[in-house]
Each structure stands twice: as structure tokens, then as C-alpha cells.
């Protein structure tokens, strides 16, 4: 029967101790998959440098993970979102890719833009739609605030005398008003 359980601290410690016992041997694919999973759960991000094909990154990660876990009484709370086995989500225009657990904020940003991607998730909270919409509104607010701080580049050619003759206003007063406007559903 298929297993369906979260990682527990006891299991992690036991498995890491077992790997430690044969640390002088090469790590197996299953060892690496376990280290991937445990590392992400403990530290919230992937094993560093693993994409660059480094030969020792998993062993280095194991040492860091082992030393961290031995001081812990329990594992950090897992993310509310996890991708189905076999699914990799690649963040566009970034080198980041997720398998398994996805940080809440990342998952909600994905689902805000692509709600149909919920089918790729094996674990998600019941109120994911509400959380994704909230994340979308928060992102829109942050985006407007960032734009208000930016000096917009002129979108017209500079005249030969060096003085700009067009372009967007540098004081967008919409950002404050946008917060007050009711959002249509």
C-alpha cells in the first residue's frame, strides 16, 4: 500500500544515522531523495548547488542536516502546499525549481496566476482560493508601491537639447487611491 505520511523527527534522525554509518560509500539515489526532502523541510530550501552537478553537495548537505537535526526536538511545520510526486514546478525567469513541499507564499503566487495548477498539488489547504486571491492583492499592492518609488525611464527619444518632452508622470497618485478602491470580484 502507498505510504502517506509527513516526515517526523524520529524518522529523520534514524535515517540520517543509518546513512552516517556508511558515509564513506557513495550515496544512493534514495539517500539523495531523502536528503532533498529532509533538507527542504528543515531549512525551507533545496540542497545548495545541487543543480550545478557538484560531486559533494549532497554529502556536504548531509553533514549540515545531521548537525542541525541532532539539536532539534521536532521538525519545523511543513508547508501547507506540496506538489504531487513526479511534478517539478519551475519558477519562470529564475533558476528555482520545486518538488514536494512548496513554501506557502510561492504556492499562493502560482495559484493566484494559474488557479488550474491546483491539479498539480497533492496537499493544499481548503481555503487555497481565498489565500491565493489575498496573495494576488498583496502582490499588486507591493507592485504599485515599488512603481511609485521608481524613477520611470522616459519612453520617448531624448531631444538633442537633453530635455525630456514626454514620458509618464513621476508622481503616480494612484497607489494610495488604489488601496481605497473596492476590488471587483
Task: Point out which residues bind other proteins (CB under 8 A).
Answer: 2-6, 28-30, 32-34, 36-37, 50-51, 53, 82-88, 90, 97, 99-101, 119-120, 122-123
Shortest reach from residue 58's CB to other proteins, in Å: 11
Q: How far is 145 from 122, CA to CA, in rounded Å?
A: 34
Shortest reach from residue 116's CB to other proteins, in Å: 11
Shortest reach from residue 53's CB to other proteins, in Å: 7
Compare residues 99 and 132 and give the one whose CB is closer to other proteins: 99
Compare residues 53 and 162 and give the one whose CB is closer to other proteins: 53
Bin 90: left if φ > 0, else alpha if -120 < ψ < 50, else beta: beta
Compare residues 17 and 97 and give the one whose CB is closer to other proteins: 97
- Going from the C-alpha of 41 to that of each of 91, 133, 166, 179, the distances in angstroms are 19, 26, 51, 36
Sort 156 into a burial class: Cβ within 10 Å, 0-12 / 13-18 / 19+: exposed
Amino acid at each position: 500500500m502507498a505510504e502517506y505520511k509527513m516526515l517526523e523527527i524520529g524518522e529523520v534522525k534514524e535515517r540520517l544515522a543509518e546513512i552516517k554509518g556508511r558515509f564513506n560509500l557513495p550515496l544512493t539515489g534514495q539517500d539523495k531523495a531523502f536528503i532533498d526532502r529532509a533538507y527542504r523541510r528543515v531549512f525551507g530550501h533545496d540542497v545548495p548547488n545541487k543543480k550545478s552537478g557538484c560531486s559533494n553537495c549532497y554529502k556536504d548537505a548531509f553533514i549540515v542536516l545531521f548537525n542541525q537535526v541532532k539539536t532539534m526536538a521536532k521538525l519545523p511545520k511543513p508547508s501547507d502546499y506540496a506538489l504531487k510526486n513526479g511534478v517539478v514546478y519551475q519558477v519562470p525567469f529564475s533558476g528555482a525549481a520545486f518538488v514536494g513541499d512548496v513554501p506557502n507564499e510561492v504556492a499562493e503566487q502560482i495559484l493566484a496566476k494559474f488557479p488550474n495548477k491546483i491539479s498539480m498539488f497533492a496537499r493544499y489547504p481548503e481555503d487555497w482560493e481565498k489565500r491565493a486571491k489575498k496573495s494576488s492583492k498583496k502582490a499588486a499592492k507591493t507592485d504599485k508601491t515599488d512603481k511609485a518609488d521608481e524613477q520611470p525611464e522616459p519612453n520617448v527619444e531624448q531631444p538633442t537639447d537633453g530635455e525630456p518632452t514626454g514620458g509618464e508622470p513621476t508622481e503616480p497618485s494612484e497607489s494610495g487611491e488604489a488601496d481605497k478602491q473596492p476590488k471587483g470580484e
